[in-house]
Amino acid sequence: MHYQLGICLGRQAQWADALAQFEQALSLHPDLRSGYGDRGWAQLQQEQWHAAVADFHTALCTRTRWAKIYCEWVDGQTKSHQSPLIQQNARFFQALCSQESAAIYFGLGKLLARQRNWQQAIAAYRQALQEQPESPEVLTALGDALRTSDPQVAIAAYQTALRYHSDLPEACLGLGRLLLVQDRDYAVALFQKAIQLQPENAEAYVLLGRWSNASVSEKITLYRQALTLQPDRLDALLNLSYALAENGETQEAIEGMQKALTLQPSLYRTLQPVLKSLLPIDSEPMGSELMDSGLSSDWSDAADSDPTDADPADPDRSQYSPAQRLGLCEPPTGFYETTEAWADQTSQPYLAVDSPTVIHLTLPKGLDHQGNPLHQREAHVSYRFGSQIQLPGTFVATIPQGQFWLSPDQTASAVLTAEDQILGDLSPEFPLLSPGHPDRHPSFHSLLSVEKRSPRKSLNGTIAVLSGLTNDMYFHWMFDVLPRVHLLQRSGVDLQQIDGFVVSTNLTFQQETLAFLDIPESKVLPTEHHSHIQADRLIVPSYPGSPAWMPQWVCDWLRALFLGDSSQSSGTDRLYISRQSTANRRVINESEVLELLEQYGFRCVSLEERSVKEQAMLLANAEIVIAPHGGGLTNTVFCRPGTKVIELFSPNYVYPCYWLVSNLLELDYYYLTGKTPAGTFLHDYLYPDPRLADIWIDPKELQTLLSLAAVNPIAP
């Protein structure tokens, strides 16, 4: 109770009171490992630096081997999986284990700066400099943290760093940025030196191009190099466009600005004066080839004129706005809550396929905070939807001159009518909330608040939209995207009469599964090139339920599609699905976990290199499946009823999608949340995005959970 109260007080920044509660908790429970980490964090807020470091050392190096195992885990990864974030974490832990004071304070400063907690980061760097006053690395980090609040002190820090070590590209860039007004020539020389020291630094090329006296053609070369390193870097894209315009390469300049506006439509107000000077006064709305489709298209000028603009049919081309001539679209004019309401009002084709579906839910099994079997009412809040939930019915709509829009990061989408009205039940965006959630109302859709929409392509013929959100994620692909093909088939749509399918084909599993469904490659319109379209006839199947919430028929259909008669196989395999070859949500102490699971007859498998059919067969033959939360568990859809599933989570991110699959297929589902030996607050800084946090599993708790699930060791 004292510990949880301390967490609550800390969340409210009442650190003195939180510290008192942590002290009380540890006096009563000296083995509370995370308590030392959280007491250390509270002491840090009180500027009790030495006491804080002592508690962090106790939590991570004395009471547990967490820091050591974490560092060994990072060392064992391939370089492609060693992100800057986990490398920083490992350096901090190494310093803690070896009790190198300067490195500990430097590591703390980097963690604090990661969350833009500049004041404390500066204090941590200064603590490090008390231990090691000539550290160029710490001085550079101090300069970065002070750059906005105290530029003169930041300049001094960078200069001192370069005096001790002249070959630091970060210090060169930082000092150069701050000296642009005082000594531009020296600043430019620093940018040049940064490129020599670190040729892969895109920012250095942009800064050199922006501030040097290089010729326009040389600037263009510099910006192109930056974009080679970071293709979607906006400052490089915009500066390249300006340089191209200055060099008389107007068309390419305009194309660069088009791409920038596609990435960030809010830039239109900034770019409008430049565009007015670049776009010919007598030009019509711009055209563009439709890539790799064989279909004709151009940038649509429908419904994207400013109120004061002339009618698009007006022969006086001088009255077209830059937005019109660039092909930018106005924001939507409104919305319909449902596609059925739109169809009823406009008498447009709408075919209902399935009635609303009720899913019956059983709470999962697991362990409480003390590692004891939990009562069902104590299940994590992410599972508390009651005993049932209703999914909406399915349908297929045909929308004359219908539009489809997908955000560049695929986290928001919209289907719109010819009159620019959003169809709410076809236009999901993140966060994906439960069906019927009040915040899902289309009046909250982000597209309604944009200043301009990106250019759209007009497509001839009949186009079907299969694309969903985050199309490259296996779970969403299998449960949200593929079943839309089946809805088209069940509605009586002749797929041979479809001229193009808007869908992703970047990844092997996408290509494999589309081939299973006889979607010809020649008719695929990749989403990366067709993220905003308008078609003569847009055919849009609904989602099979709600995004990330699927009905029973989806599971049955996927099983029939990829398993066939094999779905009746009797499974005996005990599988642990590893995520070590992915970039996030990996089990940090996986070697410990596997050592335990070997006693129970589990074998470790990776799924990334297997075909969908191979994954399906593997899981169909499983008796027990254990895996960290991730796409691999999508394949539990192929498990037999009664298969035991144990899902491993990081403590701050529990998502119930595979529990839902288990309910639909009558799987025996359990879950286990990982531990935070570093404490709640330090862990938040180690992993700022809880969705991506790697997972630490307590082997004893996993063993307890196996016993709860009646999984016994295999006799040698």
Q: How many CA atoms lie within 13 A of 367 on its CB side?
A: 25
Quick one: average pLDDT of 42-53? 96
Alpha-carbon gap, residue 175 to 178, rounded angstroms = 5
Alpha-carbon gap, residue 547 to 370, rounded angstroms = 35
Alpha-carbon gap, residue 687 to 500, rounded angstroms = 42
Residue 34 burial (CB count, 10 A)? 24
Instruction: Provide the token pair at 117.
Output: 């907690």
Write out pLDDT tens, residues 64-86.
889 999 999 999 888 777 889 99
Quick one: average pLDDT of 414-443? 94
**Higher confidence at residue 321 or residue 374?**
374
Quick one: average pLDDT of 279-304? 39
Give strand pairing partners of 587.
695
Lowest mean pLDDT among 342-356, 373-387, 497-511: 373-387
pLDDT at 303 over 70: no
Write out pLDDT tens, residues 139-182.
999 999 999 999 999 999 999 999 999 999 999 999 999 999 99
108 neighbors 124 (Cβ within 8 angstroms): yes
pLDDT of the residue at 324:
67
The full DSSP string for 225-237 is HHHHHSTT-HHHH
Instruction: Provide the token pair at 462.
Output: 């009949």
- The pLDDT-based confidence of 410 (bands split at 50, 70, 90) is very high
- The pLDDT-based confidence of 278 (bands split at 50, 70, 90) is confident
Q: What percent of the chain has pLDDT over 70?
A: 93
**Backbone torsions φ then ψ of 64, nearest 5 degrees:** -135, 170
Q: Going by DSSP bridges, is the β-strand pair 350-354/334-336 parallel, antiparallel, or unpaired?
A: unpaired
Superfamily (CATH H level) for 1-59: Tetratricopeptide repeat domain (1.25.40.10)
- The pLDDT-based confidence of 280 (bands split at 50, 70, 90) is low
Give strand pairing partners of 458.
298, 534
Residue 32 carries which side chain, given as an amino acid letter? L
With a CB cutoff of 8 Å and minimum separation 6, the contacts of 568 are: none
Residue 682, CA distances (Å) to 22, 44, 119, 625 in order: 14, 10, 17, 32
pLDDT of the residue at 570:
66
Q: Shortest CA distance to 419 belongs to which of 400, 405, 435, 406?
A: 400
Residue 573 burial (CB count, 10 A)? 17
pLDDT of the residue at 572:
85
pLDDT of the residue at 318:
46
| Whole-model pTM over 0.85 | yes
Mapped onto helix, strand or coil, the DSSP state of residue 426 is: helix
pLDDT of the residue at 329:
86
pLDDT at 46 over 50: yes
Q: Going by DSSP bridges, is the β-strand pair 573-577/603-605 parallel, antiparallel, or unpaired?
A: parallel
pLDDT at 567 over 60: no
Mapped onto helix, strand or coil, the DSSP state of residue 439 is: helix
Quick one: average pLDDT of 353-367? 95
CA 611 remoteness from chain centre: 24
In the predicted model, what is the mean pLDDT of the chain?
90
pLDDT at 319 over 80: no
* Domain extent listing, the chain: 1-59, 334-356+392-541, 563-708
pLDDT at 289 over 50: no
Lowest mean pLDDT among 15-24, 273-282, 411-420, 672-681: 273-282
Q: What percent of the chain has pLDDT over 90?
A: 80
What is the chain's Cα-based Rg? 29
- The pLDDT-based confidence of 315 (bands split at 50, 70, 90) is very low
- The pLDDT-based confidence of 316 (bands split at 50, 70, 90) is very low
Q: Shortest CA distance to 498 belongs to which of 517, 519, 515, 516?
A: 519
Q: Look at the block and give the residue holding tokens 């800064």.
A: 207
pLDDT at 314 over 90: no
Cis amide leading into 169 (omega within 30): no
- The pLDDT-based confidence of 585 (bands split at 50, 70, 90) is very high
**Backbone torsions φ then ψ of 27, nearest 5 degrees:** -70, -30
The matching CATH number, chosen from 3.40.50, 2.60.120, 1.10.3470, 2.60.40, for 563-708 is: 3.40.50
Quick one: average pLDDT of 547-559? 96
